[in-house]
Structure 1
Amino acid sequence: MSHLYRHLRIHQVFGANTDVGKTIITTALVRASALKNSAVFYLKPISTGPLHDADDAHIKRFAGPNQSLVETRCLFRYDEPVSPHLAVKMASGAPKNAVSVPSDRTFLNSVAQYIRSCARKCPAGHIYIETAGGVHSPTLSGTTQVDSYRPLLFPTILVGDSKLGGISSTISSYESLLLRGYIVDAVILFRDHYYRNYEYLSSYFTARGLRVLSVDPPPPRLDNHAKNAENTEAYYAKIVSGGLDGDIFEAVRHLDDCHTRRIEELDTMPRRTLDTVWWPFVQHGLVNSETDVTVIDSAWGDFFSVYERAPEPPSETASSDNSLLSPQFDSSASWWTQGLGHSTPSLALAAASAAGRYGHVIFPEATHLPALKLAERLVKDGPGKGWASRAFFSDNGSTGTEVALKMALRAFSIKAVPALTPVERKNLGVVGLKGSYHGDTIGAMDATKKSIYSCEWHQPKGFWFEPPTVSIKRGKLVVSVPNPMFTSVASTHHFDTLDALYDVEGRLSSPLAEAYRLFMRQTLQTFNRSNEQRLAALMLEPIVMGAGGMIFVDPLFQRVLVDIVRDPSLFSTPLLVIYDEVFTGFYRLGLESAIPLLGANPDISVYAKILTGGTLPLAVTLTSDRVFQAFYSQSKADALLHGHSYTAHPIGCQVANETLDLISGLLQKEPWKAAQAKWSADAKSRSTIWSFWDPSFAQAMSHLDIVEEVMTLGTVFTVKFNGDNTGYASHCARKLLQSIKDVVNHGSRSSTLASDSFGIHFRTLGNTAYFMTSLNTSREIIEEVENRIWATLNTQNKGLLQ
């Protein structure tokens, strides 16, 4: 991840094109920095072409009077003067297609290790990292530079193009950097007095708050090497004067100021946040100091880059390779939204494309392509395939479920037999499960049993069953049945595999299924006789109830409940069935939707979170034609009078379409196949119910004495601890896992992925902790997270036994 040091200022140099003078301008910056008597490091990560033309040699030769303060380095050098992705394949003596191409990770680790070594060497200094070619020139792996370097996110200098066409290439390069979150501190280019691009670009970028600096161009290159070197030295001596003034020194001062301001802002963010922000789901009385505030400077992939305020060095001669930025694994997937990792370039481009084409446009009685395409793919080919006819857009999961409730209650009211009175319409209730959570809006809360999330206006409307749960206990896959059912069925039922437990159709004829049916029928008959309230809908979080404590529900129980509420012998008007898949949808649990697993279509279902890959809010409520027809008439009063100013906003819809495209590309890739094979009872097949988390890890965790149970599906792994049943208010899980947030190996804390080199940012639900991956998290990262969790909890477990 990114590096930041108080004593060492880092800037990366990108060019708007090839041959724009990156090395010339970087040489001038290096020379000026050295004249300020500070250590200067120059890194050329990749060099192609003859050694006598190497940029690092040029920098060292013309570093000026204080050349001894300058260190230059090249990490990957190839002889052929071609693009790096070709040069590595053409490396001399290597058979075609047999060359070992360094991966992006290897490449970035090499850069990161050099940066750390520089930080150890001096108490104060500058680093300049010069890229090759233009911003989109490929690196060794073929990934374009602007994407390959992005995890490191160094502050950037863009060297503009002073030649014909350079205005366009410079602005385009800047926008490419901006779209990927780069911090561009300055644009520097030559003052060409014919094209005068610097005049236009200065005006253009200054209006956008960006500093533009220009310098005189170098003299023409001469064939006489000695004379050329003499002219070049004279050029640098002229533009980098010893008086510490002039354009180049102004540029150095500006870059130094940008570095200082960045650290000052990061230093003040915790206090400013505590003074002005009201966080959701946080008791501010428990946030005791500024150190409790997680300052996220940036994010990439599965990681935050977190600022940790460090004290000033004890002396002017002290140095340290401890970066002020530490990588933290985002183990809550940022409240379950991340599906493809942070800052995915194609999602940023999709958002920018729609923002540029549409911004936001009104949606009632209108359409636009991003929304139409998304609606069609969700209804016809996605989770709505075979049952849904319409897609209704809203802005987040809570309002998506609120819409679903409005739809269901109206549809039931229209068809109810006997017809409902006005009073009965106002008093309709839902059937659900204890521990459900459908959002924070009032209607969504009213569809759940009273809980810690309830507010003063909360009026629970309905009846909620306590569900049987699924977990791994002491290595055994168990369905645990709650107390009210013990009289008719055993309290625990064991299964050998996930496939067997989640074979809902195969279990429908089991004695347990019959016990479920009998218990539900008797319970609901009693409710109907003793309550004036009419039940109108069943609302379920399929498979896992998230905010209620990551409760894995026996899917057989949910399927039987769906069948029961549609039984005309029990309900004269079948109840509407709502699946709240805001959390679980789009492969969070390894399946696009729980609908095929449960074997029963809903009337309404709700999707959000992963829908946009965690980039921005959007929700979609899918509904059957039966529900849609309940609102269809010639009267405006009969319409679904619910909407949002940003309904079907094109940016969200475009990003959602791109997200679904990316997910479809993952389904048959090797990491998914490998994970599915690990959870299969048959070594030659792949399990349909599976997890990215290793089965042996889950087994081992379940045997710890401090652990009551664990469970995992898809991206989700949960652990419930023993000894504290105070529910959501419990601090048990947080205390046991607190040390996992820290970076273990502080000597390499900013490595891109060195073992034990990152912290883990986690969230808890009372005595339950949960961890999530993205859909494309590498097995290597998951294994390191597993090892950190195991090491932390195994240590806690040993302490308990002692």
Structure 2
Amino acid sequence: MSSLFRNLRLHQIFGANTDVGKTILTTALVRASAARGHDVFYLKPVSTGSMSEADDGHIQRYTASVKSAVHTDCLYRFTEPVSPHLAVKLDQKNASHVSTAPADGTVVNAIAEHIRTCASRSISPAMAHMYVETAGGVHSPSLSGTTQLDLYRPLFLPTILVGDSKLGGISSTISSYESLHMRGFIVDAVLLFREDYYRNWEYLKPYFAERGISVFAVDKPPDVHADPAENFALTNKYYESVTSVEGADSISSVLDHLDAGHATRLTELKSMPRRALDSIWWPFVQHDLIAGEKDVNVIDSAHGDFFSIHKPASTPQASTLQPQFDGSASWWTQALGHAHPALALAAAHAAGRYGHVMFPQAVHAPALDLAERLVRGPGAGWAQYAFFSDNGSTGMEVALKMALRAYAARHGLRGDREARRLGVLGLKGSYHGDTLGAMDACEDGGVYSCEWHDARGVWLAPPTIGVRDGAVCITVPKPILGAEADEVVRADSLARVYDVDARLETPLAQAYAAHITRVLRDVERQGTRLGALVLEPLVMGAGGMIFVDPLFQRVLIDVVRAVDSSSSTPGSWYGMPVIFDEVFAGLYRLGVQSAAPLLGASPDIAVYAKILTGGLLPLSATLASRPIYEVFLSDSKADALLHGHSYSAHAVGCAVANEALDQIERLAKDGKWGAAKARWAPPAGNEATGAAATVEDARVWSLWDPAFVKALSKDSAIAEVMTLGTVLAVKVKAAEGGYVSHSAQNLMKGLADVGGGAYENGDRSGLSTAPGGAPFSVHFRTLGDVVYFMLSLNTEESVIRDVEDRIWQTVQNSSR
């Protein structure tokens, strides 16, 4: 991940093309830095061609006379003078042994480790300078074939772009900058030769000035002389000239600019906590509990599953930026990791093509494509229409409008006072968002309510699923069985629990049905009228990561729909419309695209958000069946669904959603999750579990290791553990439970520190490291006595195992 040192000013040098003078200008920078008394480190990660023409060799030859130490290194060297991806193949072909190209992660780790080594060697009072020179243009392939921009993005080094001074160079320089910019790189300066015929610098200076970037036009080097000795003398004289001259476009002014930028960045990051405390009101934060600046998490950048956060370094040789695992998937939104290049490019393309266009009675390709694929995907078999809104909460308000209108219309309540008093049927602990309408669909007295909150409905206490002391348990609330206390029922396996159809004829299913029927009859006798069933399928997120027994939700749907099934139109909804709030759990967050196939029951309305855009942009889609849609049809506009947002179906969000779903569907099909499914699959032919016999048919699975889940559930400090898909929920034993408890926060506080460990038999020991090789901390969120962790759908297995180690070690240390 990113590195930023007080004693080492570090820049990566990209070129707008091959043969634009990267090495010439880098040599000038190295010489000028050394002439000022700085220790200088030069790294060429990958070099192709003969050693006599290697860039690090050029640096050595032309800096031998400077007074300060210049250290040059190359990590990967290949003899063929071709693109790195081809050079490694030719090297394999010509070698007597079989070798493969190092993986991108290996290259990044090697560079990061080299940078840390250089920083530790920087003991001079003067700040050291380091330059990392890339090969070819910004999109030239790396050893693996990944373009350089994407290979080096995890390092996120401040960047110098060497522009092209030749014919066509204006275009290639701007294009290279935009490629860097779209991937988030910080371009500190653009350097190019002062070519007096094409005069590209005259155009590029004002162009980049409008973007806050300085352009420096440096004198050209002499042409290559045929005599090697004369060529060396002429080139050396050139370097002496450009590094000694002063002025606006001098190498000296470039160094001043880079040094100032480095100092400004350090100052900016250091000042951010105080400025944030003075100006920002955070969501879901009790500001009175913030101890001070140390409690503010300063995020400088993010990539993959990691933040790069600013922490004051203990020594000048230590980086002030540290990797931190994004343990909540940034409030459950991330599906493909941060700064995914395909999503960024999709956003840029749609922004350039459309910007934002209003949507009523209009259509554009991104919205149409997204609507059709959602209806075919999670809406398969029941949904016909998609309504777009801004976020999950507003999407749920749309769903409530649809459902309650449908119920009122069927029962002749349109315009009736009773229609305004309709309530919903839901589960205790449910949460559907922070807008007032969504809050009204949740139980009264919750921590998320406000003064205008008016709970309208009935909420049932649901049976829950969890792993306790290594065993899968169903906790059944006492009202269901008429008992004096909650009853805990042990299950054979998670696979058995989620085989809903096989459980429908069990005594527990009958008890669920009898309880729900009694409640609905009591509600009817009390004169309360319910117009919709609202469920968070499988797991209720904000209420405490409550994994609900899927059998209870299936039976609840069946009982509700049985109320007036004989009087309803075939193909229509029965009893009351059923809403699935899949904002959190849908689109493979729990390992399945939708809960409907797992429950064996489809909704009439469903809402999707968060993962929908891969976590990049806010967007929500409310899917509805044709009978729900047809309720709003008439010759009066007053009967239409008069609901909408200025940014409904904004093209950028829809385009990103389409790309995100493309990426997710590829993961679902290419076997990426195969190893995880295999770990959770029951033994083949185990009829007692009622589970699938093959990995492909596994109904439920998790990216978290079952051995880790089982071991964690046995710890004396842990009450219960549960997992599905990317989610891991850990309930802590505590005297005071619920959302206001600090028990989980106190138990897991060690995760905020850098460290590592192992669990079970000590088979995974050592320090856990992020991409780039640096030890990482874990950013996490708690829901009172519950701490939860969330992965992306493409989190690397090695990262998952490291995070498990960190959680395990933290719990062990806290329990001592």
Q: 1:371 Cα deviation (Å)?
A: 0.2
**What is the identity percentage for the equivalent residue pairs of Structure 1 and Structure 2?**
56
| Correspondence for 1:474 | 469
| Correspondence for 2:657 | 656
| Correspondence for 2:499 | 503
The answer to whether the 8 A contact 1:717-1:770 is kept is yes
Distance 1:211 1:230 in 2: 31
SS class of match (1:542)? coil
| Correspondence for 1:524 | 520
| Correspondence for 2:811 | 793
- AA in 2 matched with 1:442: L
| Correspondence for 1:74 | 74
Q: 1:242 Cα deviation (Å)?
A: 7.0
Q: 1:271 Cα deviation (Å)?
A: 0.6
Q: 1:569 Cα deviation (Å)?
A: 5.4
SS class of match (1:110)? helix
- AA in 2 matched with 1:544: V
RMSD of the TM alignment (CA)?
2.0
| Correspondence for 2:353 | 357
Match of 1:177 among 155, 180, 197: 180
Q: How does 1:350-389 map to 2 (within 5 A)?
A: 350-379=346-375, 381-389=376-384
| Correspondence for 1:234 | 237
Distance 2:72 2:419 in 1: 78
SS class of match (1:306)? strand
| Correspondence for 1:120 | 120
Indicate how the Cα distance of structure 1 residues 754 and 195 shifts in structure 2: closer, same or farther if over 3 A, else same: closer
Distance 2:756 2:522 in 1: 61
Distance 1:659 1:471 in 2: 31
Q: 1:73 Cα deviation (Å)?
A: 0.6
Q: How does 1:549-560 map to 2 (within 5 A)?
A: 549-560=544-555
SS class of match (2:424)? strand
The answer to whether the 8 A contact 1:240-1:246 is kept is no
Q: 1:618 Cα deviation (Å)?
A: 0.3
- Equivalent pairs counted in the alignment come to 787
The answer to whether the 8 A contact 2:35-2:67 is kept is no
Q: 1:751 Cα deviation (Å)?
A: 6.2
Distance 1:74 1:423 in 2: 79
Distance 1:254 1:65 in 2: 25
Distance 1:397 1:93 in 2: 54
Deviations 1:745-781 (A, max 9, x none): 79x9996447781100000000000001100001100
Distance 2:694 2:98 in 1: 32
| Correspondence for 2:426 | 432
Indicate how the Cα distance of structure 1 residues 208 and 267 shifts in structure 2: closer, same or farther if over 3 A, else same: same
Distance 1:536 1:82 in 2: 69
Q: 1:197 Cα deviation (Å)?
A: 0.7
| Correspondence for 2:761 | none
| Correspondence for 2:271 | 268
Deviations 1:216-263 (A, max 9, x none): 111111221111101100111111117798610000100111111111
| Correspondence for 2:259 | 256
| Correspondence for 1:485 | 480
Deviations 1:478-526 (A, max 9, x none): 1110011233798222222222110111111111111100110011101
Distance 2:46 2:244 in 1: 30
SS class of match (1:11)? strand
Distance 1:177 1:756 in 2: 24
Question: Is structure 2 residue 111 aligned with structure 1 residue 111?
Answer: yes
Distance 2:712 2:328 in 1: 19
Distance 1:751 1:506 in 2: 44
Distance 1:570 1:242 in 2: 89
Distance 2:491 2:636 in 1: 54
Distance 2:448 2:341 in 1: 36
Distance 2:201 2:101 in 1: 39
Deviations 1:68-114 (A, max 9, x none): 42111111111000111111122267559932211111101110111
Q: 1:565 Cα deviation (Å)?
A: 1.2
| Correspondence for 1:282 | 285
Indicate how the Cα distance of structure 1 residues 64 and 190 shifts in structure 2: closer, same or farther if over 3 A, else same: farther
Distance 1:383 1:569 in 2: 27
Distance 1:568 1:745 in 2: 56
Q: How does 1:599-614 map to 2 (within 5 A)?
A: 599-614=600-615
Distance 2:566 2:119 in 1: 72
- AA in 1 matched with 2:606: S
Q: 1:668 Cα deviation (Å)?
A: 3.1
SS class of match (2:307)? strand
Indicate how the Cα distance of structure 1 residues 369 and 664 shifts in structure 2: closer, same or farther if over 3 A, else same: same
Indicate how the Cα distance of structure 1 residues 624 and 561 shifts in structure 2: closer, same or farther if over 3 A, else same: same
SS class of match (1:87)? helix
Deviations 1:390-413 (A, max 9, x none): 100001000000110011111110
Question: Is structure 2 residue 37 aligned with structure 1 residue 28?
Answer: no
SS class of match (1:485)? helix
The answer to whether the 8 A contact 1:239-1:246 is kept is no
| Correspondence for 1:534 | 529
Indicate how the Cα distance of structure 1 residues 92 and 416 shifts in structure 2: closer, same or farther if over 3 A, else same: closer
Distance 2:657 2:96 in 1: 41
Distance 1:97 1:252 in 2: 45
Q: How does 1:59-458 map to 2 (within 5 A)?
A: 59-63=59-63, 65-66=65-66, 68-91=68-91, 98-123=98-123, 124-241=127-244, 247-310=250-313, 319-320=316-317, 322-379=318-375, 381-416=376-411, 419=413, 422-450=416-444, 451-458=446-453
The answer to whether the 8 A contact 1:702-1:708 is kept is yes
The answer to whether the 8 A contact 2:769-2:802 is kept is no
Question: Is structure 2 residue 711 aligned with structure 1 residue 697?
Answer: no
Distance 2:157 2:409 in 1: 61
Q: 1:795 Cα deviation (Å)?
A: 2.1
Distance 1:752 1:109 in 2: 9
Which deviates more from structure 2 when the two are superposed, residues 238-247 or residues 288-297? 238-247
Distance 1:795 1:324 in 2: 26
Unaligned runs of 5+ in 2: 568-573, 685-692, 758-765
The answer to whether the 8 A contact 2:166-2:200 is kept is yes
SS class of match (2:171)? helix
| Correspondence for 1:316 | none
- AA in 2 matched with 1:506: A
Q: 1:743 Cα deviation (Å)?
A: 1.3
| Correspondence for 2:619 | 618
- AA in 1 matched with 2:529: R
- AA in 2 matched with 1:252: L
Distance 2:224 2:305 in 1: 47
The answer to whether the 8 A contact 2:322-2:774 is kept is no
Question: Is structure 2 residue 729 aligned with structure 1 residue 729?
Answer: no
| Correspondence for 1:706 | 717
| Correspondence for 2:632 | 631
Which deviates more from structure 2 when the two are superposed, residues 59-68 or residues 722-731? 59-68
Unaligned runs of 5+ in 1: 314-318
SS class of match (1:182)? coil
Q: 1:527 Cα deviation (Å)?
A: 1.1
Distance 1:96 1:741 in 2: 49
Which deviates more from structure 2 when the two are superposed, residues 732-741 or residues 755-764? 755-764
With the length of structure 1 as denominator, give the TM-score of the two structures.
0.96
- AA in 2 matched with 1:730: S
Indicate how the Cα distance of structure 1 residues 173 and 244 shifts in structure 2: closer, same or farther if over 3 A, else same: closer
Distance 2:565 2:775 in 1: 59
Distance 1:796 1:2 in 2: 30
The answer to whether the 8 A contact 1:89-1:96 is kept is no
| Correspondence for 1:762 | 780
Indicate how the Cα distance of structure 1 residues 644 and 569 shifts in structure 2: closer, same or farther if over 3 A, else same: closer
Distance 1:97 1:620 in 2: 55
| Correspondence for 1:680 | 681
Distance 1:204 1:425 in 2: 61
Which deviates more from structure 2 when the two are superposed, residues 60-69 or residues 755-764? 60-69
Indicate how the Cα distance of structure 1 residues 201 and 692 shifts in structure 2: closer, same or farther if over 3 A, else same: same
Which deviates more from structure 2 when the two are superposed, residues 637-646 or residues 94-103? 94-103
Which deviates more from structure 2 when the two are superposed, residues 666-675 or residues 453-462? 666-675
Deviations 1:711-745 (A, max 9, x none): 00000001001123331111110111111111127
The answer to whether the 8 A contact 1:43-1:72 is kept is yes
The answer to whether the 8 A contact 1:2-1:154 is kept is yes
